[in-house]
Amino acid sequence: MMGWLVVPVLVCVGLGVVRFVRGPYDADRIVAVDMLFSAAVALCVLAALVTRRVLYLDIAIGVVLIGFVATLAWARLVEMRGMPSKGSRS
């Protein structure tokens, strides 16, 4: 019944994987991982709608929290890598 809703999510996953692999910048990869987490949440919501089980919504909440923290951590890592060290003069 809702199988056709999976197709746009899988297209999003494919585009996210291509952007993650091809890059070329770290910001592109961060956005791609965020897209993949969003697609995972969408698949969890679709599974909850199809099976009528609330458990998948709890899993979606967990994926959202992990995705949020992962995106912040990776963005912070990229930001820190671009900063000069404390002892250097620039």
- Sorted by where each begins, the domain ranges of the chain are 9-80
Q: Render pLDDT for 26-40 as a digit per residue (tens, 0 to 9).
A: 889 999 999 999 999
Taking phi over 0 as left and psi of -120 to 50 as alpha, with beta for the rest, 53 belongs to beta
With H, G, I as helix, E, B as strand and everything else as coil, classify residue 42: helix
pTM for the whole structure: 0.82
Mean pLDDT of 48-69: 94
Cα–Cα distance measured from residue 34 to residue 8, given in angstroms and rounded to the nearest whole number: 16
